[in-house]
Amino acid sequence: MKLTEQHRAYWRRNLWLTLALLSAWFFVTFASGFFADELNAITFLGFPLGFYILAQGSLITYLVIIGIYVLVMNRLDRKYGVAERR
């Protein structure tokens, strides 16, 4: 099966979205962990800020990343005519 230009455009946008969201995931997971010592110098409600960012903020960020992926992919699916429900 030969891919049409519409298929290629769909996959380019899909790959761009995936790369952008994986970059956000990488930054939240590894960059914030790399700077945890500096973040722990700041306290929030008596606890180190690094704890809140790594233990709570990262989980919230992962949920936001999933939500963004679902919303954008549903829009792309409808735009390119590959949605499961129309």
Indicate the number of domains in the chain: 1
With respect to residue 44, please indicate whether it lies within any of the assigned structural domains: yes
User: Could you tell me if residue 60 is inside a domain?
Assistant: yes
- How many angstroms separate the Cα of 25 from the Cα of each of 19, 37, 38, 81? 10, 20, 20, 29
Does residue 85 fall inside a structural domain? Answer: no
Question: Closest Cα to residue 72, out of 29, 2, 20, 33?
Answer: 20
Q: What is the pTM of this model?
A: 0.80
Residue 4 lies in a domain: no
Provide the domain limits for residue 59: 20-79
Q: What is the pLDDT of residues 30-69, one digit of tens each?
A: 888 888 888 889 988 888 888 888 888 889 999 999 999 9
In a domain, 55, yes or no: yes
Distance CA(17)–CA(59), nearest Å, equals: 20
Is 84 a domain residue?
no
Structural domain includes residue 86: no
Q: How much is the pLDDT for 76?
A: 94
